[in-house]
Amino acid sequence: MISHAELAAEFGTPLYVYDLDELAAARDELFAALPEEFELFYALKANPHPGIVRELRTGARSCRAEISSTGELTAALAAGFTGADCLYTGPGKTAGELAEAIGHGVRLFSTDSVTDVRRVGAVATAHGVVADCLLRVNSVTASAATSIRMTGVPSQFGFDSETLIELLPALREVPGTRLAGMHFFPLSNADEASLIGEFQHTIATAAELAAAAELPLRYLDIGGGFAAPYGVPGERGAYPTLRGELAVALDKYLPSWRAGRPQIACESGRFLVGASGTLVTQVSNVKISRGRKFVIADAGINTFGGMSGLGRLLPVAVGLAPDSRGEQASLVGPLCTPGDVLGRHIALPPVEPGDLLSVPNTGAYGPTASLLMFLGRPAPMEVLVRGDRVVSASRIDYRRVEHVLPAKFESTEGI
């Protein structure tokens, strides 16, 4: 493979390198861990780069696209998906977004409330089409179900499973919609035992709800939660017995599933793309403060893990491959905020200004989950490689400003 040093010399830093062969390997690995009748959605939230999305669309078995904004719709279409390949999700869909989606042929929506279904229906009707709605179910998780208090968690997502049945009469008669099934997404980043337990519980809950409510169950998206390391060395989760366990649970609760009644789907973001990415950052300074060492790099929370820097997403604790000469230091970014820390007291090789550091497993929740605009540095370069070939190099330009002041506000200031 082409070296990170060569790429950094060519394109500058901070730099994301995405390895398309690794991406294809993760895609094939996840398909192999699922029964062959399953569909798999790629959650574009994890990385909407069109080159990444395109790779997941291709292959012997290709993903469909899980999107939740007009921007993600645009990325999916740019990667060659059609609207019909997409599942549109999210608790706050607007009429404008829905019109874009339906206008581009999206027909499958995960819905979170009666208002949401009605809005989908109104837009579909205006376009003269019928939209399939999955009811997203906020159920009691498997681990909560085995504990004493059997309550789900309050959430903006989904219909509370306890009250869904009462709402069905209203949901059934929304013009422009057809109730197609259910969508669950109860957990993230889980090991095999937790995932199997959760899927068994989800499948049982879906079958029970469908029977109790006489709900047509043509499509069942049981969610995901396939694990991948985030910015630290390590391997993707391994799911060697999942395929067999899923088949057992489905045979028990939904015996016609192999004939596509219902069609079953899973979804994933980080497992598919995490390992394909490496963040290459250059050390700009090394300093000691009161006995503590700080390595200042040109990538901070504007480049990686910004939302986690605010305690809002995933814990960021960057790590590098073990180095016998390693010494403890904090890896910090260039921003003027003490929160710009990628790793506190981590093992780092001895480095000097100008050296490069490669942070592994950064293909998911990178640039678009970071504080790109904060403090005005350019977005990182993103380079796609396949073997020794560089197949694309690009950079998000967030600095393009759209001036929208209507004439009636015309002022002489000319800002």
Ligand X SMILES: *Cc1c(COP(=O)(O)O)cnc(C)c1O
Helix (H) or strand (E) holding 382: strand 381-386
Residue 184 Cβ, how far from ligand X at the closest point, in Å? 9
179 binds ligand X (CB under 6 A): no
Minimum CB–partner distance for residue 374 and ligand X (Å)? 22
> Shortest gap between Cβ of 233 and ligand X (angstroms)?
19
- x/- track of binding to ligand X for residues 46-65 (CB under 6 A): x-------------------
Q: Is 188 in the site for ligand X (CB under 6 A)?
A: yes
Residue 208 CA to residue 325 CA, distance in Å, equals 58
Which residue from 177, 200, 268, 282 is in contact with ligand X, where contact means CB under 6 A? 268
Interface pick for ligand X out of 48, 83, 269, 367 (rule CB under 6 A): 269
Instruction: Return the number of the residue (45 or 119) whose C-beta is nearest ligand X.
Output: 45
Cα separation, 256 vs 37, in Å, equals 12
Q: What is the 3-state secondary structure (H, E, C) of 73-119?
A: HHHHHHCCCCHHHEEECCCCCCHHHHHHHHHCCCCEEEECCHHHHHH
**Does residue 112 touch ligand X according to CB under 6 A?**
no
CA 224 to CA 267: how far, in whole Å? 5
Q: Which of these segments, 17-25, 43-51, 332-340, 373-381, binds ligand X (CB under 6 A)?
A: 43-51
Q: 22, 55, 72, 267: which one contacts ligand X (CB under 6 A)?
A: 267
Residues in contact with ligand X, shown as a per-residue x/- string from 361 to 380 under the rule CB under 6 A: ---x----------------
Binding to ligand X by residue 45, rule CB under 6 A? Answer: yes
CA distance 251 to 70: 38
Q: According to the binding rule CB under 6 A, does residue 185 interact with ligand X?
A: yes
Does position 201 interact with ligand X (CB under 6 A)? The reply is no
Segment interacting with ligand X, rule: CB under 6 A, options 40-48, 194-202, 237-245, 353-361? 40-48
Question: Could you tell me which stretch among 233-241, 246-254, 262-270, 301-309 binds ligand X (CB under 6 A)?
Answer: 262-270
**Please, are residues 73 and 101 in contact by the beta-carbon 8 Å criterion?**
yes
Phi/psi class of residue 146: alpha, beta or left (left: φ > 0; alpha: ψ in -120 to 50)? Answer: alpha
User: Smallest gap, in angstroms, from Cβ of residue 47 to ligand X?
Assistant: 9
Q: How far is the CB of 364 from ligand X (least distance, A)?
A: 6
* Under rule CB under 6 A, residue 229 binds ligand X: no
Rg (CA), the chain: 23
Among 111, 113, 141, 189, binds ligand X (CB under 6 A): 189
Site size for ligand X (CB under 6 A): 16
Q: Report d(CA 326, CA 370) in Å as an integer.
A: 28
Choices 56-64, 119-127, 265-273, 343-351; region in contact with ligand X by CB under 6 A: 265-273
224 binds ligand X, rule: CB under 6 A: yes
Q: For the chain, how many helices (H) and strands (E)?
A: 12, 17
Extract the tokens encoding 250: 């489905």
Number of alpha carbons in the 13 Å side-chain half-sphere of residue 381 = 20
Of 26, 43, 142, 371, the residue at the interface with ligand X (CB under 6 A) is 43
- Comparing CA positions, the residue from 113, 143, 144, 118 lying closest to residue 131 is 118
360 near ligand X, rule: CB under 6 A: no
Q: Which two tokens stand for residue 172?
A: 């059934």
Question: What is the sign of the dihedral through the CA atoms of 295, 296, 299 and 301?
Answer: positive
User: Would you tell me how many other CB atoms lie within 10 Å of the CB of residue 368?
Assistant: 19
Residue type, 322: P
Where does this chain bind ligand X (CB under 6 A)? Answer: 43, 45-46, 66, 89, 185, 188-189, 224, 226, 267-271, 364
